[in-house]
């Protein structure tokens, strides 16, 4: 058995800037379209990642990559 790599395990995937920005845009669209329900009251990591993955079968990401992509290009908090 070989070792698995992200997104099949935790860790940040190796992506180029173009891929990161494309993921970032799609994540923002998912977040904007989110409507709270009793089952899913907040737009959390599991929801964002799972919804992105359902829309991108074959190009899935994991939660660590999702967090990295969302924060990419943002100014660090002081």
Binding site for other proteins (CB under 8 A): 4, 6-10, 45-46, 48-50, 53-54, 57, 60-64, 66
Question: Least CB distance from residue 5 to other proteins, whole Å?
Answer: 11
- Looking at the chain, how many residues does it have? 78
Q: What angle do CA 48, 72, 7 make, to 5 degrees?
A: 50
Question: Least CB distance from residue 77 to other proteins, whole Å?
Answer: 21
Considering beta carbons, is residue 25 or 45 the nearer one to other proteins? 45
Name residues whose C-beta falls within 8 Å of residue 19's C-beta, 6 or more positions apart in sequence: none
Considering beta carbons, is residue 58 or 78 the nearer one to other proteins? 58
Question: Least CB distance from residue 78 to other proteins, whole Å?
Answer: 26
């Amino acid at each position: 058995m070989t070792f698995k790599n992200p997104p099949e395990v935790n860790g940040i995937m190796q992506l180029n800037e173009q891929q990161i920005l494309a993921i970032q845009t799609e994540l923002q669209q998912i977040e904007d379209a989110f409507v709270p329900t009793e089952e899913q009251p907040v737009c959390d990591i599991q929801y964002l990642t799972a919804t992105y993955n359902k829309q991108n079968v074959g190009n899935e990401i994991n939660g660590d990559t999702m967090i990295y992509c969302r924060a990419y290009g943002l100014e660090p908090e002081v």
